[in-house]
Amino acid sequence: MNLTSHLKPQYFWDVDFSKLDDQLSKRLIIERVFCLGNLSEINLLLDYYGKKEIVSVLCNLNYLDPKTFNFVSKIFHTSKKKFKCYTRKRLTPQSWTS
């Protein structure tokens, strides 16, 4: 099965969509589909990569938007502390403005 043939090219506006490889571009594909895709596309990724691989990729991303972050931590029953984006955010000091 060619995974990229089932995904919307609009999710990958900044790369050559025709050169995406299901395995070599796994991190980018998972990140974009979870941030921009719908549930049927997410289920497609779960069937293709498996839950364990997807959770591993998502936990190692440097950034997830807050909505996606909350969604994936809930659906995969994974503590927010296991996500790299959460620990990095906590380590970055907030600037105080008045």
C-alpha count within 13 angstroms, C-beta hemisphere, residue 82? 13
- What is the pTM (predicted TM-score) of this model? 0.86
* Domain-embedded: residue 37: yes
Cα angle 59, 61, 90; round to 5: 80
* Domain-embedded: residue 80: yes
The pair of structure tokens assigned to 17 is 């969509």
Show the domain range for 30: 3-91
Q: How many domains are contained in the chain?
A: 1
Walk along the chain (98 residues) and give the pLDDT tens digit of each residue. 789 889 999 999 999 999 999 999 999 999 999 999 999 999 999 999 999 999 999 999 999 999 999 999 999 999 999 999 887 765 555 566 65
Spatial CA neighbour of 86 closest among 54, 63, 56: 63
* Domain-embedded: residue 96: no
* Domain-embedded: residue 98: no
User: What is the pLDDT, as a whole number, of residue 51?
Assistant: 96
* Domain-embedded: residue 56: yes
* Domain-embedded: residue 50: yes
